[in-house]
Amino acid sequence: MSLLRVRGLAIDYATKGGTLHAVSRGTLDVGAAEVVGLVGESGCGKTTLARALTGIVPRNATFMGGEIVFEGRDVLNGPPDAWRDLLWRKISFVPQSSMNALDPVYRVGAQMTEVLRLRGGMGRAEAATRSEELFAMVGLDPRRASEYPHQFSGGMRQRAAIAMALALHPALVIADEPVTALDVIVQRQVLDTLRDLQSRLGVSVLLVTHDISVVAYVCDRVVVMYAGEVIESGTTRAVLEAPRHPYTMGLTNAFPDLERAGGTLAPIAGAPPDLRAPPQGCRFAPRCPFAQARCRAETPPLTIDADGHASACWRSDEAAALAENAKDPSTWTLMSTSAA
Amino acid sequence: MRSVAIRFAQMLLVLWAVATILFFLFRLMPGDPTLAYIDTTFTAEQQEELMRQFGLDRSLAEQYLLYFANVIQGEFGTSFRSKRPVFTIIFEVLPNTLALTVLSITIAYIFGVLVGAWLAWRRGSIAEAVGIPLVLTLRAAPEFWLGMVLLAIFAFGLGWLPSGGANSAGMQFSSTFDRLTSPDFLRHLILPAATLALYLQGLPLLLMRSNMLDVLQEDYVMMARMKGLPEWRILLLHAARNALLPVVTAFALGLGASVGGNVVVETVFSWPGLGRVLVDAVASSDYPLAQGAFMFIALILIVMNFVADLLYTVLDPRVSHG
Amino acid sequence: MDAYVHVSGLSKTFPVSRDIGQVLRGERPVVHAVRSVDFSIAPGETVGLLGESGCGKTTTGRLLLKLVEPTEGSIRIGDKVLAGLSGESLRGFRRDAQFVFQNPFDALNPRIAIGRSLAEPLINAGIPREEHAERTRVVLERVRIRGTELLERYPHEMSGGQLQRVVLARALILEPRFIVADEPVSMLDVSVRAGILNLMRELQDSLGLTAIYISHDLALVRYVARRTLVMYLGSLVEDGPTEDVIHEPLHPYTKALIAAVPLPRVTQTRDPLPLRPGTPDARKVGKGCPFVNRCPAAMAVCEIERPPLVAVAAGRRVACHLMPAAPLRAAGSLAPAAS
Amino acid sequence: MPSLMRALRLPQNDPLAIIGVTIYVVFLLVALFADVLASDPFEILFTEDGNLAANLPPSLAYPLGTTNLGRDIFSQLVIGTRSAFLVGLTAAGAVVALGTIVGLVSGYFGGLTDQILMRLADIALGIPFLPFVIVLAAFLGPQTQNVVLAITVLLWPNTARVIRSQVLTLRERGFVEAARVAGSSDLRIIRVHIAPNIMPLSLLYGSIAIGWAILTEASISFLGFGPSDSISWGGMLQDAYASQALSRGSYYWFIPPGLCIVLVVVAGFFISRGYEEILFPKLKD
């Protein structure tokens, strides 16, 4: 039974320009001690979905439906206190390394001990030692605890955020684009730290990113989202090497492979739909080179095959042929009716 | 540290500049500049002595140097009307002004910060829809008119409170402190302080509200909620603490400005303060007193501007721990 | 083979805030953003400038466009030496050298329509108003934007990909001969990036542009540039054909950089990076090699003497004491590097 | 109304901004047609039986009653609108113009000019506002233009500082650098790229400055330094205060002028909130 089971999660945003259906079909699983990548481009709803798992959503967001089952209990439709009780004890969060994920007027150490004492029930002394332990664990000099967030570099802020997330031995850590803003060397070092702590502590991680290479480097399984819907999920190898949804094929094509000779990259023409008025049928149809009449009429369900590889495409049984076709850039360039 | 030293130097520059402006301002008077210092009712010797003391017979440049020497020693000359040294008059009325100003601005800021934070937290509620226009209307009302209305209702209408002055006639007090804490003084203080507070609360309230709205959208507030911290703790210790920084600076600026600013309130309530002294002095061409009062008000304003800068660098770790 | 762009001994320092002591002692601490960099670009060649944030690559780009004045050294572009350029010759330079911005959402004035932004270089170059419509249509065609209904629209009504095409069009409208592109696709979604990269490759060949492509992403640099310069903390540490730099990196920093890049494939090596723990701090770079505090092969000499950038093979330079200039080692005569 | 709102670059759906503009329009009309609406504010009136029409409560003949010297309060109020706007608009215009220019120059060019202008701003901010206006009015005579001069000399730094910080951020924006690379001169960059982007901010401070100017003029007149030849709301209040209107409880005399000041000044604040929404959209949703 998976640690986290999300089925048909739907979230809307009330905005000036009308209701934005940010997430329409959030369906994914995270097993125990497993690293799951949640991948998609900007605006696909991956951050909304990931943050919603903590129950903390912006003022103008509302849960429209679905279920979030954590350790067997549906926290979304259950008593709110039960969900809040899990926060940081069972589920914790690593933010994108924006400057103000840490409170600028408090020392970093103080913010660490705050959560240890208030949510971990630790005394002052116990919290202090645990805090030093956590700093050392993520490769930060414990003496840095007395400094303020603006005195930390990007890499150090992310390490502090990881330490804070692991403070109370959570079962699930949700990391929202944790390394996106970092340089490639620091990014690799932080990912290595995250990966080896994950395996050592046996914690599950849901890693949100737009970078397929980060998924390939760190994740056991991957979930692909497009225009508010989960359109494919499975083991990283299966999804990257034998994608069953044309969007995943296009996405993997668009990532240049440093070691392979540089073939021409194939862009996906057009742009994602406006989620205030999502199109009928499959939302990728307008940009999909393999779209058929049926794709524009009916929304394809998320079907799972024998070894757990799910995809939402009417032609996923012809995936092997389509994938081969998708490797040739001309399939995509013919599609470019209007410039990208 | 460096920025503090530079700001201190800038403050001295501003002080010097304002004093110079003041020097020329009071020499601009139509007619004979010596008039600024010599009252015709003085005897010849007194006039002679004052001429020498203020070097009014010498060149402007020499007068300028003498002027500064006097200012630094606190020697502002003698008031025409009361024939008493300007310095003593100022120090007599200063406690009244400070009592009124400090009390009203403190009430205004405490009220403003609490209600501002509450309105930000209740964003989109009726409280906000009614609260904001009400605050703006209070801020749009001239202070003296607010005073007049309160006087008309509470003093003349209901007769609950005195209609002016700082103390009832004929009251004797052993010390200034004793006077300032006497029930009689406090009864006189209520209306003017209420008027000032009503006017001054608008700025902190709106400033705190917009700061809180910004801060509540920051990532660290979302993170605090995700940590499961209690909402009141997030609002108070994280959001309000950050939103308060600019309000504290505004408090220092407000204090400096309102010492000179509540001239009108002092006039409406015939409150014997620094502002009132200035107005009466200017109205009766008692220039030494006017110049002394003006200089003193400017001094408080400039020093408080500097204190505001100082507070900002000290309170915000991003500046103090550069 | 005369280089179209020639940079020699280029340095740029920025003043850093001082504490009281320094003020009193009259010291003027500075950070060296760019440290005596030398390189040249042949006509029609596109060179990649690779490095992490804070390595000075963006400052170098801005120096090449005279947006910032150098502290030392000289730049020659075409027949113009940038120092002291003014008046008519400066306007001439402004026609020949153009900039492609990183953030398309910020590169266009939000308050004026696209048409007016495109016309600005024309107005400054004194092109008569009647020709504006025609030139705009031609350049939009060149960046694959059909039709001119776009001209009345405002930046906030368009997607990142379209905006970047307009930014490219504005850069090309005066038919410049030299383009500086600073991370032109880093703000775009991956699926849209390829479109802009392909476009830049086509333009390079069709217009024979000389260009410098600045990025922190080696895979993107490789896609548009046949030759790559690697910068670290203000210094040029390696220079060579892009394929060589990727498959046979010489400088320890380049090796670590390439090892750190995650591949979009499940099977990839995960052994630790050839780096000693430490962070790049521009203020702490002493007399020696800037990379000395993180280099696994650091020697005593690296602490005290800064390795010069020397040719170790035809068109192949590196700045590392491990590889001193090897005039004899290279097979065949050592053609002078394009410097 | 919508076209007027657009002309002022204001959000059409913001109720406060609409109320604000409506109040302005009404008062401007009153100011324009003041002579038609009101009779001579200084004329001494007499009742039918020949004695002084002093302190008459509001009636059909005198909608707001008469002063202790037998003058029609309603006429004074209407004529007073004109001087309120005269001072308000001229002073606000001068303050915002001076503040915007200084902010632009010192923000865009920086260096020594920036330092000098900012020190000048510090000095202006170091002079206590009301005392200075009082002294100026006392020395140069109680004419309206002296009040406007004093307001302009002391109030420009607030606008200048805010405009300067906005220009500092604009100067680093991509499209400004693009303009430089495209060969645009500094002048053209300011005219085409910088000025239009700070316009809402100067209009924001303009609407606030109108309120400030009217409040200041009222305070000066109340303290007895206002122009004696013309009628202003402040002057009316001073007149009422001096002739014991408060103790007589003649609310009809001292409430209306105060209310008019409040309405006009609050209209400026409501409009400025509209601009604030444009400038800091985060506050919207």
In whole angstroms, give the CA distance from residue A106 to residue B238.
9
Band of residue C333 on the pLDDT scale cut at 50, 70, 90: very low
CA A95 to chain centre: 11
Residues 158-187 of chain D with CB under 8 A from chain C are 173-175, 177-184
Strand runs labelled E in chain A: 4-15, 18-30, 35-39, 61-70, 73-74, 91-94, 172-176, 204-209, 221-226, 229-235, 303-304, 310-311
At A96-141, the pLDDT tens digits run 876 678 999 999 999 999 999 999 999 999 999 999 999 999 989 9
Q: What is the dihedral of CA C79, C83, C86, C92, to 10 degrees?
A: 30
Q: Residue C148 gets which letter from DSSP?
A: S
**Range in A203-207, C171-175, D70-74 with the lowest mean pLDDT:** D70-74
Chain B: closest CA distance from residue C279 (Å): 19
Q: Identify the pLDDT of residue A316.
A: 86
Q: Identify the pLDDT of residue D61.
A: 82
Q: Identify the pLDDT of residue B225.
A: 94
Q: Identify the pLDDT of residue D37.
A: 83
At A12-28, the pLDDT tens digits run 999 888 899 999 999 99
In whole angstroms, give the CA distance from residue D72 to residue D42.
8
- Chains B and C form CB pairs within 8 A to the count of 9
Band of residue B185 on the pLDDT scale cut at 50, 70, 90: confident
- Answer whether residue B76 shows pLDDT above 80: no
Range of the domain at D267: 73-283
Within a domain: D39: no
In whole angstroms, give the CA distance from residue D175 to residue D170.
9
- Answer whether residue D120 shows pLDDT above 70: yes
In whole angstroms, give the CA distance from residue D53 to residue C56.
84
- Based on the structure, what is the number of domains in chain D? 1
- Answer whether residue D279 shows pLDDT above 90: no
Q: Identify the pLDDT of residue B146.
A: 92
User: Which of C90, C99, C111 lies closest to D178 in CB terms?
Assistant: C99
At A49-60, the pLDDT tens digits run 999 999 999 989
At A132-177, the pLDDT tens digits run 999 999 989 999 999 999 999 888 999 999 999 999 999 999 999 9
Within a domain: D176: yes
Best probe of the A interface among B216, B218, B226, B321, by most A CBs < 10 A, is: B226
Cβ atoms of residues A30 and A71 within 8 Å: no
In whole angstroms, give the CA distance from residue A167 to residue A204.
14
Q: Is D141 in the B-facing interface, judged by CB distances under 8 Å?
A: no
Q: Which residue of D has its CA nearest to B217?
A: D282
Q: Is C144 in the A-facing interface, judged by CB distances under 8 Å?
A: yes
Q: Identify the pLDDT of residue A113.
A: 94
- Answer whether residue C329 shows pLDDT above 70: no
Q: Identify the pLDDT of residue C337.
A: 42
Residue D87 tokens, joined: 């001072």
Q: Is C260 in the A-facing interface, judged by CB distances under 8 Å?
A: yes
Rounded to an integer, the average pLDDT of B294-322 is: 87
Q: What share of chain A has pLDDT > 70, as a percent?
A: 97
Within a domain: D10: no
Rounded to an integer, the average pLDDT of B115-120 is: 91
Query: Under an 8 Å CB criterion, which residues of C touch B?
Result: 17-20, 23
Q: Is the backbone of residue D214 left (phi > 0), alpha (psi -120 to 50) or beta?
A: alpha
Within a domain: D63: no
Query: Under an 8 Å CB criterion, which residues of D touch A?
Result: 284-285
Rounded to an integer, the average pLDDT of B278-293 is: 85
pLDDT, mean over chain B: 85
Report CB contact under 8 Å: D193, C125.
Answer: no
Q: What share of chain C has pLDDT > 70, as a percent?
A: 95
Question: Could you tell me the CATH number of the domain that includes residue D237?
Answer: 1.10.3720.10
At B147-161, the pLDDT tens digits run 999 999 998 888 888
Q: Which residue of A has its CA nearest to D284?
A: A16
- Answer whether residue D282 shows pLDDT above 80: no
Q: Identify the pLDDT of residue A40.
A: 93
Chain A: closest CA distance from residue D237 (Å): 46
pLDDT, mean over chain A: 90
Within a domain: D44: no
CB atoms within 10 A of CB C325: 14
Chain C: closest CA distance from residue D196 (Å): 7
Within a domain: D260: yes
- Answer whether residue C270 shows pLDDT above 80: no
Which residue shows structure tokens 């009916």? Answer: A298
- Answer whether residue B51 shows pLDDT above 90: no
Q: Identify the pLDDT of residue C335.
A: 42
Q: Identify the pLDDT of residue B247.
A: 92
Question: Which of chain C's residues have a Cβ under 8 Å away from the Cβ of D177?
Answer: 67, 99, 101
Q: Which residue of D has its CA nearest to B253?
A: D125
In whole angstroms, give the CA distance from residue D147 to residue D133.
7
Question: Which of chain C's residues have a Cβ under 8 Å away from the Cβ of A191?
Answer: 262
Within a domain: D121: yes
- Answer whether residue B166 shows pLDDT above 90: no
Per DSSP, the three-state class of B76 is coil
Amino acid in position D71: R
Beta bridge partners of B206: none
Angle formed by the axes of helices B86-121 and B126-140, to 10°? 160
Cβ atoms of residues A303 and A311 within 8 Å: yes
Best probe of the C interface among B2, B313, B321, by most C CBs < 10 A, is: B2
Report CB contact under 8 Å: C17, B5.
Answer: no
**Range in A213-222, C142-151, D174-183, D275-284 with the lowest mean pLDDT:** D275-284
Dihedrals phi, psi of B271, to nearest 5 degrees: -85, 120
User: Is the pLDDT higher at B147 or at B169?
Assistant: B147
Report CB contact under 8 Å: C91, D184.
Answer: no
User: Is the pLDDT higher at C253 or at D229?
Assistant: C253
- Answer whether residue D238 shows pLDDT above 50: yes
Chain D: closest CA distance from residue B264 (Å): 7
Report CB contact under 8 Å: D183, C94.
Answer: yes
- Answer whether residue D145 shows pLDDT above 70: yes
User: Is the pLDDT higher at C219 or at B260?
Assistant: C219
Residue C197 CB-half CA count within 13 A: 32
Band of residue C332 on the pLDDT scale cut at 50, 70, 90: very low
**Range in B97-106, B309-318, C269-278 with the lowest mean pLDDT:** C269-278
At D208-217, the pLDDT tens digits run 888 888 888 8
Q: What share of chain D has pLDDT > 70, as a percent?
A: 95
In whole angstroms, give the CA distance from residue B283 to residue A47.
68
User: Which of C95, C102, C120 lies closest to D179 in CB terms?
Assistant: C120
Band of residue D285 on the pLDDT scale cut at 50, 70, 90: very low
Residues 63-122 of chain B with CB under 8 A from chain D are none
Q: Identify the pLDDT of residue B32.
A: 55
**Range in B292-306, C29-43, D181-195, D265-279 with the lowest mean pLDDT:** D265-279
Rounded to an integer, the average pLDDT of B183-198 is: 90
Report CB contact under 8 Å: B298, D246.
Answer: no
Band of residue B322 on the pLDDT scale cut at 50, 70, 90: low
At C158-167, the pLDDT tens digits run 888 889 999 9
Band of residue B291 on the pLDDT scale cut at 50, 70, 90: confident
Report CB contact under 8 Å: C265, A338.
Answer: no
- Domains of chain C from N-terminus onward: 1-78+177-339 (3.40.50.300), 87-96+103-175 (3.40.50.300)
D28-D30-D33 Cα angle (round to 5): 110
Chain C: closest CA distance from residue A32 (Å): 21
Q: Identify the pLDDT of residue A142.
A: 92
Give the neighbours of chain B: at least 3 Cβ pairs within 8 Å: A, C, D
- Answer whether residue B40 shows pLDDT above 80: no
In whole angstroms, give the CA distance from residue A223 to residue A240.
11
Within a domain: D268: yes
Chain B: closest CA distance from residue A34 (Å): 22
At D159-206, the pLDDT tens digits run 899 999 999 999 989 999 999 998 899 999 999 999 988 888 888 888
Rounded to an integer, the average pLDDT of C302-330 is: 82
Q: Identify the pLDDT of residue A216.
A: 93
- Answer whether residue D281 shows pLDDT above 70: no
Q: Identify the pLDDT of residue B193.
A: 93
Q: Identify the pLDDT of residue B53.
A: 63
Chain A: closest CA distance from residue C85 (Å): 36
Beta bridge partners of C40: C6
Is A235 exposed, middle or buried (CB count within 10 Å of its CB: 0-12, 13-18, 19+)?
Answer: middle
Band of residue B38 on the pLDDT scale cut at 50, 70, 90: low
- What Å distances lie between residue C186 and A181, C172, D124, D177, CA to CA? 11, 20, 47, 19
3-state secondary structure chain D: CHHHHHHCCCCCCCHHHHHHHHHHHHHHHHHHCHHHHCCCCCCCCECCCCCECCCCCCCCCCCCCECCCCCEHHHHHHHHHHHHHHHHHHHHHHHHHHHHHHHHHHHHHCHHHHHHHHHHHHHHHHCCHHHHHHHHHHHHCCCHHHHHHHHHHHHHHHHHHHHHHHHHHHHCCHHHHHHHHCCCCHHHHHHHHHHHHHHHHHHHHHHHHHHHHHHHHHHHHHCCCCCCCCCCHHHHHHHHHHCCHHHHCCHHHHHHHHHHHHHHHHHHHHHHHHHHHHHCHHHCC
